[in-house]
């Protein structure tokens, strides 16, 4: 009778959850579960192998209860499996953003028209002219030049009239762009004009990053001069203001500063500002869903991506705010049809299924 015992068979890795459940290429995802640390395989201690669909993903950190991976370029949405010690885990689904267009330069959120076409800027360095200022991405995902000759196109928003409104941070101008791409000046004298958004009544709001939020009253009658008011004042932003309206008419403003603990401001209909949420790193473009949850391109607890803040989180650090998508270099987002989102980085536009119905803006 042999006294030798065979090596125990490795325990199966078990996946209980992914955090977050969506990511961009280059983003990090934490896998929680059991038996996720290094394991013996053919006599050697080895890190677990992870796949997203058919694509291998690099393990960044491996512990028995937690495995962190980096989503590789070329990955698409699919099931995550972990192979450890020759034993395969159960599967959990991960949503992965895919590129729509590259070699761009957005500095704020993209915009979608009523037909589902997307619009994104090639903003360029301040004061520098670029060949194409705004691109249009049709529903067939074809990228087409839309506006040329606009200096430093920055914020984008659609009005009730179906026209695209665009701020120029170099000129302090908001332009009005027809569906055919013809431009005209809508308002000027707006400082370093960055983020823009329409309220439920059709008035346009513009953030001057030096510290002013302007309200531009819609036309009251043909030929009447358009009135511009100072609506609110905030601390200056080092990059831009980003604006978004909640359904009740409250204006939300993000403006990254030199702090790593920045604020989201809420401004009521009287122009009174208060801190809605404190504790984000470099918050930028924002969008609301139909429930009133706010989504922000920002860092939370050191991890960059899209952060969701629920209404109950107002004024409370950390509570009811969570990272829902992991990714680097994000500057904004826009919700589109079928629960999907368009994500803008500093050089590209991505598309991802998030299962979120966005608040209608047009």
Regarding whether 201 and 122 lie in a shared domain, the answer is: yes
Mean pLDDT calculated for residue range 29-57: 87
- Please check the confidence at residue 220 and state whether its pLDDT lies above 60: no
Domain around 76: 14-96
Regarding whether 202 and 137 lie in a shared domain, the answer is: yes
| Structure confidence at residue 256 as a pLDDT band (50, 70, 90) | confident
What would the pLDDT profile of 229-241 be if each residue is shown by its tens digit? 999 999 888 778 9
* Residue 6 included in any domain: no
Largest Cα separation within the chain, whole Å, is 104
Q: Would you call 145 helix, strand, or coil by DSSP?
A: strand
* Residue whose C-alpha is closest to residue 228's, from 292, 185, 260, 282: 185
Q: Would you call 77 helix, strand, or coil by DSSP?
A: coil
CATH number at residue 54: 2.60.40.10
Mean pLDDT calculated for residue range 270-280: 94
Percentage above 70 pLDDT, the chain: 92
pLDDT score of 313: 54
Q: Would you call 43 helix, strand, or coil by DSSP?
A: coil
What would the pLDDT profile of 128-145 be if each residue is shown by its tens digit? 999 999 999 998 889 999
How many angstroms separate the CA atoms of 350 and 334, rounded? 11
Q: Would you call 200 helix, strand, or coil by DSSP?
A: coil
Mean pLDDT computed over every residue of the chain:
91
Mean pLDDT calculated for residue range 109-133: 95
CA 183 to chain centre: 27
Task: Dig out the tokens for 346 from the structure.
Answer: 């500093």
pLDDT score of 314: 52
Regarding whether 163 and 127 lie in a shared domain, the answer is: yes
Any residues with CB less than 8 A from the CB of 292 and at least 6 apart, and which? 246, 247, 311
Lowest mean pLDDT among 13-22, 30-39, 72-81: 30-39
Higher-pLDDT residue of 204 and 261 is: 204
Mean pLDDT calculated for residue range 287-305: 95
Give the phi and the psi of residue 129 in degrees, each rounded to 5: -80, 140
Lowest mean pLDDT among 15-19, 58-62, 154-158, 313-317: 313-317
Regarding whether 130 and 79 lie in a shared domain, the answer is: no
How many angstroms separate the CA atoms of 15 and 67, rounded? 10
| Structure confidence at residue 6 as a pLDDT band (50, 70, 90) | very low
- The answer to whether the Cα torsion of 207, 213, 218, 223 is positive or negative is negative
Q: What is the DSSP string of 263-288?
A: EEEEE-TTS-EEEEEEEEBS---EEE
pLDDT score of 361: 79
pLDDT score of 355: 95
Helix, strand, coil percentages, rounded to 5, for the chain: 0, 50, 50
| Structure confidence at residue 40 as a pLDDT band (50, 70, 90) | low
Regarding whether 137 and 227 lie in a shared domain, the answer is: yes
How many angstroms separate the CA atoms of 162 and 66, rounded? 48
* Residue 60 included in any domain: yes
Q: Is the pTM of this model over 0.75?
A: yes
Regarding whether 230 and 342 lie in a shared domain, the answer is: yes
Regarding whether 222 and 151 lie in a shared domain, the answer is: yes
């Amino acid at each position: 009778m042999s006294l030798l015992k065979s090596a125990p068979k490795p325990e199966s890795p078990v996946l209980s959850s992914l955090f977050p459940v969506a990511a961009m290429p280059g983003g990090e995802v934490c896998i929680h579960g059991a038996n996720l640390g290094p394991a013996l395989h053919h006599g050697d201690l080895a890190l677990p192998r992870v796949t997203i669909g058919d694509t291998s993903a690099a393990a960044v950190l491996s512990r028995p209860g937690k495995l962190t991976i980096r989503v590789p370029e070329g990955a698409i949405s699919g099931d995550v499996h972990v192979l450890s010690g020759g034993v395969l885990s159960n599967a959990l689904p991960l949503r992965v953003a895919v590129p729509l267009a590259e070699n761009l330069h957005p500095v704020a959120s993209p915009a979608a028209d009523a037909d589902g076409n997307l619009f994104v800027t090639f903003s360029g360095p301040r004061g520098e002219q670029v060949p194409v200022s705004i691109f249009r991405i049709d529903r067939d995902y074809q990228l087409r030049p839309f506006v040329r000759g606009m200096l430093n196109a920055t914020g984008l928003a659609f009005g009730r009239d179906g026209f695209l409104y665009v701020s120029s941070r170099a000129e302090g101008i908001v332009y009005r762009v027809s569906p055919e791409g013809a431009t005209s000046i809508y308002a000027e004298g707006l400082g370093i004009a960055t983020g823009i958004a329409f309220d439920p009544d059709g008035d346009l709001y513009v953030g001057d990053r030096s510290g002013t939020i302007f309200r531009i009253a819609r036309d009251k009658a043909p030929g009447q001069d358009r009135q511009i008011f100072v609506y609110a004042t905030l601390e200056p932003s080092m990059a831009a203001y980003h604006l978004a309206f909640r359904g009740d008419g409250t204006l939300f403003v993000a403006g990254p500063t030199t702090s790593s603990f920045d604020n989201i401001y809420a401004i009521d209909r009287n122009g009174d500002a208060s801190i809605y949420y404190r504790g984000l790193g470099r918050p930028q473009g924002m969008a609301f869903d139909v429930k009133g949850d706010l989504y922000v391109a920002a860092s939370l607890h050191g991890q960059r991506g899209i952060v969701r803040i629920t209404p109950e989180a107002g004024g409370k650090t950390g509570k009811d705010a969570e990272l829902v998508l992991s990714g680097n270099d994000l500057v904004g987002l826009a919700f589109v049809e079928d629960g999907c989102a368009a994500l803008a980085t500093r050089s590209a536009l991505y598309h991802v299924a998030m299962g979120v119905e966005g608040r209608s803006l047009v």
